[in-house]
Homo-oligomer: A and B are copies of this chain.
Amino acid sequence: MSKQPKYRQVADALRREIDSGTYAPGARLPSESDLMKRFDASRNTVRNGLSLLVSQGLVSSSQGLGYEVRSHEVFKLNASRFENLNFPQNGDAYRTDVTNAGRRPHQTFRVEITPASADVAERLKVDLGSTTVLRFCHRYVDDVPWSTQATWYPGWLTERSPRLAEPGDIEEGTTRYLASHGIEQVGYFDEIAARMPTPEEARLLEISAGVPVLLWTRTGYSEDRPIRCTVTTFRGDLNQMNYEIGTLSGREENEPQ
């Protein structure tokens, strides 16, 4: 009848029940010992099946509490409007986006002066190891870690716009601040990739097993040359990126205010 190994049968059966709504998001699965009786399997086998579901991001487990079906409510980020001067926003887009969604934003902030790594040097078209300013940002929504954002600026740029290298937030938004110094971002190049988090990323974003990260690398250009490189790391289960290109007839949602 079934050629599938038993631990896989356990995982498949539970997955079907999760999909069909028997166990709704947020609900607790039966305990390991319950499942041992139900599937006539050893604890190792049951745990094997459950760990499959955990590594696939369907359920999470915690000691003493049991296994819980994950719920995912995604936050939609409109990347093509982000930092677009044609859509006026007060301050930076993250804060307004989150506030508009009725959530509470919070962020920690850090500024460093570092030599350019290979990745950054290539994108900013500067020499490997040359001086760059790194503005690093760790963002929360309702006290849940949401994303980390690292922006590198080339050394020549920070000479013309010194506030970049100073600690402390730039209230009006860096894009606007740079524009006021005659450096306008006229285009950008976005790269989007997905992978499993490193232990460091998992720690910073409080990512549990089975949740990938979205890597968003934006290189901004002035008329002349690259002016910044921003790498944003998102929790993949909580975020989605959207791009609007051209004319979109009949779309009402997400219109600029």
Contacts and interface: CB of A to CB of B under 8 A. Distances in A.
Contact of A246 (B221, B224, B225, B237): B221
A191 B74 CA distance: 12
Contacts of A225: 249-250
A196 B222 contact: no
A223 B245 contact: no
Interface core residue of A79, A197, A249 (most chain B CB under 10 Å):
A249
A28 to B, nearest CB: 21
Contact of A236 (B51, B195, B244): B195
B223 A249 contact: yes
A191 B12 contact: no
Contacts of A185: 246
A134 interface: no
A99 interface: no
Interface stretch (A29-37, A104-112, A157-165, A206-214): A206-214
Interface core residue of A196, A241, A248 (most chain B CB under 10 Å):
A196
Interface core residue of A74, A225, A240 (most chain B CB under 10 Å):
A240
Contact of A221 (B186, B188, B222, B249): B249
Interface of A: 12, 15, 51, 55-57, 74, 76, 79-80, 125, 185-199, 209-214, 221-226, 236-237, 239-251
